[in-house]
Amino acid sequence: MENIKAIEAKDRIILALDVDTIEEVIKYTELLKDYVGFFKVGLPLFTSCGFRAVEVIKEHGGKVYFDGKFQDIPSTVAQTSINIVKNGINFFNISATGGSKMMVSTLNACNTYAKKNNIEPPIILAATLLSSFGQKTLTNELGVEMNISAYALKLAKIAKEAGLAGVVAPDTDAAQIKKELGKDFIVVCPAVRPTWAIVNDQIRIVSPSDAIKAGADYIIIGRPITDAHDPVCAAKLIITEIEEALKGNDEV
């Protein structure tokens, strides 16, 4: 990826394609490819349309971010991730809670495949904690007594030590992650919602402006754009919000 600071506002938007059909994938890719940086293919779309969704996005001029949050034994995740790279995806995530061995094995396998086939090595992120998690879930259900932000930071440190490029983490953790792990360590912020959008099912949500000000390099946003009466207008409003936040960061 290019220098993080030099990335344009529109390219910081990862549009979540929470759809079920190839026709919808084509519709949104054609409509929004000039207003977002990546189209996110998650598990619902992938299990509905498979790699055809990836192919269609690329055929229509878009770039793909694959959100699979893979977690399994190291060899399984490594082989699965090689198959992701084989299909032209070079920006995806695995689960940080899978452990360092899983992360290192995956990174090494993907880099080896990329080098052997003379292609750009993948950008691999570690997803820290789901945006639907709160402290109660972490402590009462998973038995983790640490503060949720401290636990996310611990997972981010493990990911960096394993050699991954960054993490998927909420804005509440972004500033501390950047402070502890460096400005070049990528932070992708999920559950982003403009103030004019409905919250839906995430607990920890944030506006585009707040996410960028907190240190996020990319934001994941879906329904506020795709469900808007005018998706292009919605995307433009978010681009403007990001641009203003970036100016504020430069002035600090």
Burial class (CB in 10 A: 0-12, 13-18, 19+), 228: middle
Contact (Cβ atoms closer than 8 angstroms) between residue 65 and residue 90: no
How many Cβ atoms sit within 10 Å of the Cβ of residue 119? 13
For the chain, list the strands marked E by DSSP: 13-16, 38-42, 64-70, 91-95, 123-127, 166-168, 186-189, 218-221
Active-site residue, from 5, 33, 58, 69: 69
Is residue 69 among the annotated active site residues? yes
Dihedral sign computed on CA atoms, order 244, 236, 125, 68: positive
Helix (H) or strand (E) holding 26: helix 22-32
Q: How far apart are CA 41 and CA 58, in angstroms?
A: 12
Report, as residue numbers or ranges, the catalytic residues. 69
